[in-house]
Structure 1
Amino acid sequence: MVNIQFTDPSIREEHQKLMPSPEERKALLNSLTVHCSFLPCTKVKARAEVKMCSRCKQARYCSQTCQKAAWKNHKKDCGEGTASQLTLKLAERALAVPKITEYIQMHAILTLKLLEDRTNAARYVINVKCRTATADLMAHVSRLVSGKESDSNAQVLLHVDAIERVPIEEAPEQLKRKLAGAKELLKTGYWEDRQPIGEDNILVSFFFTSVRQDDEGNDQVDGGADGAISSACLLPEHAMRFMADNPKSTLRSAMLGDMEVDVDEDQLRDGLNNLIRMDKTNQMRLRGYPSKVASDS
């Protein structure tokens, strides 16, 4: 697994700011843009401004009018406590952690082959496939060794199974709408934080899906295919420079010692998952309990 480190002092200082405080994390989460869950509606609002279904805590509406209009169809799916809902809730929280986004951006550079062709960012989007995994591995193994069943209500954490590219034509409609809005913003010459936009900036878009493994061990998407949890972001130029320098990672083995290897997609994904797992105090809020899936932020 890889831990991204920068040697350039100016870049390192910028990198250190990526772990938000609880207040910053909540502010970032509330500022995320959300599409109205009533499909005929095209309105987009900040997460803090939308009306949320009080039962499932997933469906979100720009107004009470849309919420009432959507109920006839939504009540068929509305419920509490499904595994995919918990996965997507944690995935949405991940969008409020810049360091998580950084790993996805680094991965996207390789997945989309942006070092060879920057225009690939306009032809593909990124699908981040996630599931939940047991947070306390030692306790989980101990139960299995003692002949007990796994604790179905034990704490779990967000786990990224795969990060794949998807042709823009096959991207979810909600992500396409978010991407269109981002492109309009680019025309103003400023990004969301009023930061000036350069001519070479790359717009990368990605969405999270919840997956489960079937009997043959293959991932099957069971939530998020609509692109409800998604983002369109500018790829920092320093990220391109970092990956262009052919960065190395040190793999440590008790038997083989230290080995220096190239940073690749597998190591970036493992590093992202390790970052989440090492957050024992749940500062990033990427842990949860199946019985409390409906609790918010």
Structure 2
Amino acid sequence: MPIAIANFTLPESDKESKAKLLPSSAEIQEKYRATFGGACLACGKTAEGNDAPEELKICSGCHLAEYCSQQCQVSHWPSHKPACRDAPTPDIGLNLGKRLIVNEYLMFELKTYAALALDLSTTPSNALHTCLVVTLTMRDADAMAALKAMLNRQERDPRGERVLQVATIEKLPLELATTPAMRSSFETARRNLANAVAAHPSRLAGMGPVVMFVFTDGTNSIGVPSAIDPHAMQLASERKPIPMQSAMMGVYTIPMDEKSILETLNNEIRIDKKNRFLLRSK
């Protein structure tokens, strides 16, 4: 279990660039529903239509189930209780992963990872035949408490909060790791990007290629074709060291590589104690 012992910092220019992408919880939910749909688990009302509720509320326990009203949530609780308390970790991970997918702020880290891992600044054609398989997992939100329990040979607190983390990112041949439907969406995204660049060459200057991300819990998967934006391409090309700060070592730097970017992403998610990113669950 990785334990974060340092806080990552960013140069001011990079902070400003990322801050523009920082979404609110409401924006994440809105984009999640627009991308993956959403409906009241009790009555079936969706976020669209003539009888649409003003807002779908998410269950504070599992952060997955949605309800149009408190009455619906209360009436549905006897049915939802087993799934809320005993939902398998992989199922929760992939569902929460959908909120990571629609979060441009966090996806920026994965795009930078892709630009670096696939060497897109030098060989953009690598994206044509290689995809990134992102394996998701759920870990204890309180890493120190989990470590203490493990050292004392105690069971983890079943009431403890868990947080989404990226376990591994693997480069695999596109044909091997994707379904025909995923590859079709990849080709569509490539055509759309080419048309957009042709129509707005100056505005989209420096845009990288479309990369296929495959998010998985080890059983099920979601394919997400995503264009690598210019700033991610620039960071990967420059490979500037990443500034860090810790109580023990003060301010220092580490190389920009796949490992440090993955640690940065997981750290961003873990330190979100107020659950702005909606990536925590009981």
Tell me the TM-score normalised to structure 2 length.
0.70
- Alignment counterpart, residue 267 of structure 2, candidates 263, 274, 288: 274
RMSD: 3.1
Shift of 1:199: 8.3
The residue that corresponds to 1:5 in the other structure is 10
The residue that corresponds to 1:203 in the other structure is 210
Distance in 2 between residues matched to 1:33 and 1:143, nearest whole Å: 37
- Alignment counterpart, residue 172 of structure 1, candidates 175, 178, 182: 178
Distance in 2 between residues matched to 1:248 and 1:120, nearest whole Å: 24
The residue that corresponds to 2:78 in the other structure is none
Q: Is the 8 A contact 1:2 1:249 kept in 2?
A: no
Question: Measured at CA, do residues 12 and 151 of structure 1 come closer, stay the same or move farther in structure 2, by a change above 3 Å?
Answer: closer
Q: Is the strand fraction higher in 1 or 2? A: 1
AA paired with 2:253?
Answer: E
Distance in 2 between residues matched to 1:12 and 1:280, nearest whole Å: 20
Residue 23 (str. 1) matches residue 26 (str. 2)? yes
Helix, strand or coil at the partner of 1:152: coil
Distance in 2 between residues matched to 1:256 and 1:104, nearest whole Å: 27
Cα deviation per residue 1:6-51 (whole Å; 9 max; x = unaligned)? 544xx654421211112211122122268xxxxxxxxxxxx978xx
Unaligned runs of 5+ in 2: 1-5, 38-45, 49-63, 65-85
Question: Measured at CA, do residues 81 and 202 of structure 1 come closer, stay the same or move farther in structure 2, by a change above 3 Å?
Answer: same
Distance in 2 between residues matched to 1:273 and 1:187, nearest whole Å: 32
Shift of 1:146: 5.7
Tell me the TM-score normalised to structure 1 length.
0.67
Alignment of 1:34-45 (within 5 A): none
Q: Is the 8 A contact 1:136 1:155 kept in 2?
A: yes
Residue 87 (str. 1) matches residue 87 (str. 2)? no
Distance in 1 between residues matched to 2:132 and 2:208, nearest whole Å: 17
Q: Is the 8 A contact 1:205 1:232 kept in 2?
A: yes
Distance in 1 between residues matched to 2:246 and 2:162, nearest whole Å: 27
The residue that corresponds to 2:132 in the other structure is 126
Distance in 2 between residues matched to 1:196 and 1:256, nearest whole Å: 42
Helix, strand or coil at the partner of 2:196: coil
Helix, strand or coil at the partner of 1:119: helix
Residue 135 (str. 1) matches residue 141 (str. 2)? yes
Shift of 1:234: 1.3
Unaligned runs of 5+ in 1: 35-46, 50-57, 59-79, 211-220, 290-297
The residue that corresponds to 1:40 in the other structure is none
Question: Measured at CA, do residues 20 and 129 of structure 1 come closer, stay the same or move farther in structure 2, by a change above 3 Å?
Answer: same
AA paired with 2:183?
Answer: K
Question: Measured at CA, do residues 138 and 2 of structure 1 come closer, stay the same or move farther in structure 2, by a change above 3 Å?
Answer: closer
- Alignment counterpart, residue 163 of structure 1, candidates 161, 169, 179: 169
Distance in 2 between residues matched to 1:205 and 1:261, nearest whole Å: 28
